[in-house]
Amino acid sequence: MKNKKHTLPVSEVFYSLQGEGKTIGVPSVFVRLSGCNLLCGGNGTQRDGELHDGATWRCDTIEVWTNGTETLFDNILNQEQLKHLKNGAHLIITGGEPMLYQERILDFIEWLDHTLFFDQNTKKFKDQEFFVEIETNGTIMPSPEFLSEINQFNISPKLANSGMPLQRRCKENVITAFEDSDSNLQYKFVVSSDSDWKEIQQDYLHLIRRENIYLMPAGSSQDELSATYPIVADMCKNYDLKFSPRLHVDIWNQKTGV
């Protein structure tokens, strides 16, 4: 392993169901890493919790990923979480922005594979594996090794409604690198109106495959989603696009770590 420290900057770890996109409802162990290169909600939202810079929604985990602790691989997952992975639960590495730590994540996956499936008696690996999803904003260039080792990339490109300027949130060379790979991809866009779809068409549709697009209603609470769900459902019907609910908010509202 290249990461001699064998650590990751962990904000929280929990077992739940995948709440969005093509693997929605799958039992999953979430490892949230600290730090991000974007600030959805606009500059200043991390201090006052308000919307800035034209944002219409705010990252709902910002209070979590702005804090984290360098944690040894041995201490990241407990025995119950390891058992769930052995039984087929997905490992979802999220943030913040986990692709800030690509090499270290690959080292963790290698360590975890050895921990779960290496038989000390036979000195061979069992015929099992676990499924890894990476949740990313699609602005950091993936290494060839990272592209080849991750089972699924859940890419969430940001729109103007995030409060982030175009030059920070839309990196055409990064999206092209994903598209030119053989990776399993999905793109989840947070939207609330037809103008958001027009923006996707203008800034992203020439870069990505339409069949990989999911529209996800904006909102970090059940009350907010109750307003945007029917709007986005109609958009998906009108433009022949996939709809992604936000299962975790539907069930647990604004509670994190569930």
Which is the CATH superfamily of the domain at 7-252? Aldolase class I (3.20.20.70)
Torsion of CA 168, 257, 94, 1, to 10 degrees: 140
Domains of the chain by residue range:
7-252
Residue 192 and residue 233: Cα distance in Å, rounded?
A: 10
pLDDT at 64 (0 to 100): 92
172 closest CA partner among 157, 188, 189, 193 = 157
What pTM was computed for the model?
0.92
Render each residue's pLDDT in the chain as its tens digit; 258 residues.
554 569 999 999 999 999 999 999 999 999 999 999 999 999 899 999 899 999 887 888 899 999 999 999 999 999 999 999 999 999 999 999 999 999 999 999 999 999 998 888 787 888 788 999 999 999 999 999 999 999 999 999 999 989 999 999 999 999 999 999 999 999 999 998 999 999 999 999 999 999 999 999 988 789 989 999 999 999 999 999 999 999 988 988 877 777
E-state strands within 27-101: 27-33, 69-72, 90-94
169 with 137: CB under 8 angstroms?
Answer: yes
Strands 69-72 and 7-17, how do they pair?
Answer: antiparallel
* Residues facing residue 7 across a β-bridge: 72
